[in-house]
Structure 1
Amino acid sequence: MRDFHQPGRSAVFATNGVCATSHPLAAQAALDILKQGGNAMDAAIAGAVLLGICEPQMTGIGGDCFVLYSPAGSEEVMALNGSGRAPAAADAADLRARGLQTVPLTGPDAVTIPGAVDAFCHLSETHGKLGLDALLAPAIHYAENGVPVAPRVAFDWPTAAKCLNEQGRHHYLINGAVPRVGQMFRAPGQAEVLRRIAKDGRSGFYEGEVAEDMVNALTALGGVHTAEDFAATACSPTVPVSGPYKHMDLFEHPPNGQGATAILMLNILAQFDIAAMDPFGAERAHIEAEAAKLAYDARNRFIADADYTTRLDHMLAPETAQKLAALIDPNRAMAAAAPVSEAVHKDTIYITVVDKDRMAVSLIYSIFHGFGSGIATSKFGLLLQNRGAGFSLQQGHANEMRGGKRPMHTIIPGLLKQDGRVTMPFGVMGGAYQPNGHARFVSNIVDFGMDPQTAIDAPRCFADAGELRVERGYSDAVRQALADKGHNVVIPDGPIGGAQTIRIHADGVLEGASDPRKDGCALGY
């Protein structure tokens, strides 16, 4: 239990349904859908699409999603890959011939076909109750009438907006200026697109005038995208990957997502007595940082489109973790792993919903970098993701850019089971941090017995790009001890990631927790 003398937030307890996400309007919209008779899938879709209006620098219908879910009355964990593919004519060799070593973050080369809308349409049809018109109504309302800009969104907007093209500045600035806290942001073009999806389903987005608007925006800049690329987009039901950590089983989305990295990292941490360490001390932070370097190095080598990932069994094998753990010196930091070719970033949203029948949904949805590629379409103001920056240009690499291929993805939903029972859908936003964040969250729960809200609130650190980024929640003494071990310790300008979760107690009570690092909350009824 938290110290009520100190600032903080309590978990939310309810029995009929809970939503936890990064913006309160989206959490409320999801709850309203449940009260209208929708299920957790309906609520998650409604909240996620609205988040594209509430947090447009983070996500939108020009992006991708991944989903883990457990249907009502079942303990099975299912997965859906809602990530898009490179256009058919994309070729790493063309970029190499232009002298490029990585995919540029802005510009059409980075734009893969958005996959989220197809995924939402599929999930609504196969697992929802209410229909797309009801689910998209909240986002249409707020896109037309406006959303007051929330504090964390306003904090992120100025830096993210630097990439916007002329049309992007027109649609995502207000009178040429970055929106202030409380200022109303409207997206009437997106409202029209959402109305077309509500009426015509996926064809309202991937065909006709909306698809034409996206193709025109890309080809005008030299993109090789075609109407056929958009029309051919299809999500993929798939099978999760999983691994045990003591008495818990962690389920992750398979490649092209990086979820296996979290399982490998926990497998490495399992070789150490983490529970005997100070949860906020230098020893744990050091071992975690070293495990992250090793796990992420494996990610950079092996994770790619599922059709090209061939070393997943090796990556998740217990002996692999044992060999990697033996490389860790408890007293000295190793050099950082070679950086992955794509630029990883922090911008995404996560939403989780559990309903009265205990359907559990864990959904993550993103345009990758802040405002994605920076390319907005002329007519509707749709922002296009820059997920193609997730490809490698290295010839022969499993993750090499190729037409029709999915890039390695940073966004990953998570879900925990205990004794065969689905107990906790969760997610940790933060781009590259996400596998590390998953591992830390699970360790906080399992090794230190933290309740979900405490596990989320706890300070974080992350070894990334030659730095050990340590939040201000750690003491100066810990930072010095880490520096003494050879880490390049820095305090990041912003917090590391954000998280939400819902614990499903055995007695049927739902416990929702949401990260104070974001604007959002958990709500239940």
Structure 2
Amino acid sequence: MMNLDSNHYPYASRRSVVYAKRGMVATAQPLAAQAGLQVLQAGGNAIDAAIAAAAALSVVEPTANGIGGDAFALIWHGGKLHGLNASGAAPQRISLAALKAAGHTSMPKYGALPVTVPGTPGAWVSMAERFGKLPLAQSMAGAIALAQDGFPVSPMVAVAWDAAHRNFLNELKAGHFQPWFDTFAAAGRAPRAGEVWRSPGHAQTLQSIASDNAASFYRGALAEKIAACVQGAGGYLDVADLAAYQPQWVDPISVNYRGYDVWEIPPNGHGLVALMALNILKGFDFSERDTVLTHHRQIEAIKLAFADGHAHIAEASAMRVSVCDLLSDAYADERRRLIGPRATLPIAGEPPRGGTVYLSTADSEGNMVSLIQSNYMGFGSGLVVPGTGIALHNRGNNFTLDADHPNCLAPGKRPYHTIIPGFLTKDGAAIGPFGVMGGFMQPQGHVQMVMNTVDFALNPQAALDAPRWEWLQGNKVNLEHTAPEHLFRSLAALGHEVAWSGNQHAFGRGQIIWRDAQGVLCGGTEPRSDGSIAAW
């Protein structure tokens, strides 16, 4: 059952659970949380605060997201949950035949070919226009100031920045990658923790988005610069692709897990994987968290869910199996029967036919936002539009070049997408937003956060502090180095190929805000990052 008691706290942490009444912003970077809180205190609502924090994160955590990426959001407003899919499509001029003729057998990781239309600016505009109380320029003012005046780089961001720089020195040799180094490593290295970093080009781009509601980004001078950058690097994105872009408001999907409705964005995102795993797991009883049986069943369920996800998830119009069929109780029963006493290799079933930032916000009016935005793999494609601070993402890397697969590359098609916001409700009332960023760790993090909350009665901070596991492939599983040693030995005895990992970034970074029946907000933030909660 839900537990907001700060004394129920079995895992060591340098943070305490946070309570507030009038508003709360939880992010992985303190300056972004403060930007959101300032907007709340200026009369904005949770939607305005989410935009403020998201725009600020594009500046203060460029290692994980930016203006040139995608975004998804779940927004509780007016007693209803609304979904926003602001992911972008592949260029209209790209083709499977062209990539195969060029010798590609899989989608490239870096460069122009995996660049799809960036959706993040469109997300901010759509949220402000539909649900915001303040002008976009007011919500984004804090982010613009951070980019123009500079900010001291936080410790975990500095670590990620240095790792990205060292990787790019090895990976990005062509001349069209030089703007990345000019923008993000002008001193010949990544900025260090506490060092002030400025990005005037980023500030100008944010100012343009704020003043014309991203018109220049999608249909003006910025669009022309983006298209020229991609085409100059051998890509296909052009001004027509940008001009045609519109984020989509969608109906969220859910499963009921022990009386709580767990909500995700429908495909092309893979929140469906988390829901399939929870649907399998609800058929078991879990009395204790740190037992081998609990972990074994969680891991086996996520393996089965990912097998189905990789086989079936694509742009919704390209899927050959319906979401309803994949989430049916009958199919969950069928998949659950495959979980035995030992680790097994996952296979996809056939149901009956019928580098990322995450933030949460809440206000005193009852509005709550679960938002995630990303450039993918840290800084994305390695392409930066000169003079703009726009690091372009590489989401097209998730396409397959298998012509028979529903997620095969095609013009104007959106790829399988890893970023997913989560939301929890009960009996039609909002409990609140939650999320765990980190590529293919995200559905696994969602399952663990929901179970920590519902099955094991952990408060938000304790739910985030608890040691995590990550299934990789086959029977390979990483356990966080803080997990009990008996789990390592016992899982290995069941056939899991277990390894310890001290890489905190590998296990995702999350935020949680719950609201109780009295309207009190209770938040937790990620101990594996520079996470912060700004409360009012």
3-state SS, counterpart of residue 470 of structure 2: strand
Is 1:37 aligned to residue 37 of structure 2?
no
Residue in structure 2 matched with residue 342 of structure 1 by the alignment: none
Alignment partners' CA distance in 2, 1:333 and 1:106: 35
Residue in structure 2 matched with residue 482 of structure 1 by the alignment: 491
Show the 5 A alignment for 1:196-275.
Answer: 196-273=208-285, 275=286
Name which of 53, 65, 72 aligns with 2:71. 65
Show the 5 A alignment for 1:27-106.
Answer: 27-71=33-77, 74-106=78-110
Alignment partners' CA distance in 1, 2:191 and 2:63: 12
Q: Is the Cα–Cα contact under 8 Å of residues 64 and 379 in structure 2 kept in the other structure?
A: yes
Residue in structure 2 matched with residue 498 of structure 1 by the alignment: 509
3-state SS, counterpart of residue 43 of structure 1: helix
Alignment partners' CA distance in 1, 2:179 and 2:499: 36
Name which of 351, 359, 362 aligns with 1:351. 359
Q: CA deviation at 1:408?
A: 0.8
Alignment partners' CA distance in 2, 1:227 and 1:421: 43
3-state SS, counterpart of residue 77 of structure 1: strand
Alignment partners' CA distance in 1, 2:93 and 2:501: 39
State the Cα deviation string for residues 257-285 of structure 1 (Å, max 9, x = none).
Answer: 11111110001111222x22x31222211
Q: What root-mean-square deviation, in Å, do the aligned CA atoms of Structure 1 and Structure 2 show?
A: 1.5
Is 1:24 aligned to residue 36 of structure 2?
no
Q: Is the Cα–Cα contact under 8 Å of residues 64 and 376 in structure 2 kept in the other structure?
A: yes
Alignment partners' CA distance in 1, 2:315 and 2:122: 18
Corresponding letter in the other structure for 1:253: I
Alignment partners' CA distance in 1, 2:38 and 2:345: 50
Q: CA deviation at 1:158?
A: 2.3
Q: Is the Cα–Cα contact under 8 Å of residues 502 and 512 in structure 1 kept in the other structure?
A: yes
Q: CA deviation at 1:187?
A: 1.2
Corresponding letter in the other structure for 2:123: A
Residue in structure 2 matched with residue 168 of structure 1 by the alignment: 180
Residue in structure 2 matched with residue 430 of structure 1 by the alignment: 438
Alignment partners' CA distance in 2, 1:292 and 1:350: 21
Residue in structure 2 matched with residue 335 of structure 1 by the alignment: 345
TM-score, normalization: structure 2? 0.93
Q: Is the Cα–Cα contact under 8 Å of residues 66 and 363 in structure 1 kept in the other structure?
A: yes
Q: Is the Cα–Cα contact under 8 Å of residues 230 and 237 in structure 2 kept in the other structure?
A: yes
Alignment partners' CA distance in 2, 1:322 and 1:430: 29
Q: CA deviation at 1:450?
A: 1.2
Q: Is the Cα–Cα contact under 8 Å of residues 106 and 373 in structure 1 kept in the other structure?
A: yes
Q: CA deviation at 1:381?
A: 3.0
Alignment partners' CA distance in 2, 1:132 and 1:40: 13
State the Cα deviation string for residues 414-440 of structure 1 (Å, max 9, x = none).
Answer: 100012111121111111011111111
Alignment partners' CA distance in 2, 1:324 and 1:415: 25
Q: Is the Cα–Cα contact under 8 Å of residues 352 and 425 in structure 1 kept in the other structure?
A: yes
Q: Is the Cα–Cα contact under 8 Å of residues 8 and 459 in structure 2 kept in the other structure?
A: no
> Are residues 457 and 5 of structure 1, via their aligned partners in 2, closer, same or farther at CA, if it must alter by over 3 Å?
closer
Alignment partners' CA distance in 1, 2:115 and 2:12: 45
State the Cα deviation string for residues 418-477 of structure 1 (Å, max 9, x = none).
Answer: 121111211111110111111111111111111111111111001113420100121222
Alignment partners' CA distance in 2, 1:4 and 1:241: 32
Corresponding letter in the other structure for 2:242: F
Residue in structure 1 matched with residue 113 of structure 2 by the alignment: 109
Residue in structure 2 matched with residue 11 of structure 1 by the alignment: 17
Answer with 57-66 or 303-312: which moved more. 303-312
Alignment partners' CA distance in 2, 1:138 and 1:234: 26
Corresponding letter in the other structure for 1:364: I
TM-score, normalization: structure 1? 0.95
Alignment partners' CA distance in 2, 1:131 and 1:214: 26
Corresponding letter in the other structure for 1:56: P
Corresponding letter in the other structure for 2:268: N
Name which of 172, 175, 180 aligns with 2:192. 180
Residue in structure 2 matched with residue 300 of structure 1 by the alignment: 310
3-state SS, counterpart of residue 110 of structure 1: coil
Corresponding letter in the other structure for 1:321: A
Corresponding letter in the other structure for 2:367: M
State the Cα deviation string for residues 229-286 of structure 1 (Å, max 9, x = none).
Answer: 111111011100011001110011011111111110001111222x22x312222111
Q: CA deviation at 1:336?
A: 5.1
Q: CA deviation at 1:337?
A: 5.5
Alignment partners' CA distance in 2, 1:246 and 1:416: 12
Q: Is the Cα–Cα contact under 8 Å of residues 90 and 116 in structure 2 kept in the other structure?
A: yes
Alignment partners' CA distance in 1, 2:119 and 2:308: 26
Corresponding letter in the other structure for 1:230: L
Q: CA deviation at 1:478?
A: 1.4
Q: Is the Cα–Cα contact under 8 Å of residues 315 and 416 in structure 2 kept in the other structure?
A: yes
Q: Is the Cα–Cα contact under 8 Å of residues 250 and 417 in structure 1 kept in the other structure?
A: yes
Q: Is the Cα–Cα contact under 8 Å of residues 11 and 522 in structure 1 kept in the other structure?
A: no
Q: Which runs of 5+ in 2 are unaligned?
A: 1-6, 349-354
> Are residues 184 and 97 of structure 1, via their aligned partners in 2, closer, same or farther at CA, if it must alter by over 3 Å?
same
Name which of 421, 438, 448 aligns with 1:413. 421
Corresponding letter in the other structure for 1:479: F
Q: Is the Cα–Cα contact under 8 Å of residues 26 and 33 in structure 2 kept in the other structure?
A: yes
Aligned residues: 512
> Are residues 521 and 2 of structure 1, via their aligned partners in 2, closer, same or farther at CA, if it must alter by over 3 Å?
farther
Residue in structure 2 matched with residue 343 of structure 1 by the alignment: none
Alignment partners' CA distance in 2, 1:408 and 1:3: 37
Residue in structure 2 matched with residue 341 of structure 1 by the alignment: none
Q: Which runs of 5+ in 1 are unaligned?
A: 339-346
Alignment partners' CA distance in 2, 1:129 and 1:230: 27
Q: Is the Cα–Cα contact under 8 Å of residues 53 and 147 in structure 1 kept in the other structure?
A: no
State the Cα deviation string for residues 367-407 of structure 1 (Å, max 9, x = none).
Answer: 11110001111221310000001111110211111111111
Q: CA deviation at 1:224?
A: 1.1
Corresponding letter in the other structure for 1:301: A
> Are residues 7 and 460 of structure 1, via their aligned partners in 2, closer, same or farther at CA, if it must alter by over 3 Å?
closer
Q: CA deviation at 1:132?
A: 1.2
Name which of 136, 142, 147 aligns with 1:143. 147
Residue in structure 1 matched with residue 351 of structure 2 by the alignment: none
> Are residues 256 and 197 of structure 1, via their aligned partners in 2, closer, same or farther at CA, if it must alter by over 3 Å?
same
Name which of 443, 450, 468 aligns with 2:477. 468
Q: Is the Cα–Cα contact under 8 Å of residues 26 and 50 in structure 1 kept in the other structure?
A: yes
Q: Is the Cα–Cα contact under 8 Å of residues 11 and 465 in structure 2 kept in the other structure?
A: no
Q: Is the Cα–Cα contact under 8 Å of residues 280 and 459 in structure 1 kept in the other structure?
A: no
Percentage of identical aligned residues: 40
Q: Is the Cα–Cα contact under 8 Å of residues 512 and 523 in structure 1 kept in the other structure?
A: no
Name which of 507, 518, 534 aligns with 1:507. 518
Residue in structure 2 matched with residue 318 of structure 1 by the alignment: 329
Corresponding letter in the other structure for 1:454: A
Q: Is the Cα–Cα contact under 8 Å of residues 167 and 381 in structure 1 kept in the other structure?
A: no
3-state SS, counterpart of residue 108 of structure 1: coil
Name which of 279, 284, 287 aligns with 2:294. 284
3-state SS, counterpart of residue 501 of structure 2: coil
3-state SS, counterpart of residue 448 of structure 1: coil
Corresponding letter in the other structure for 1:497: G
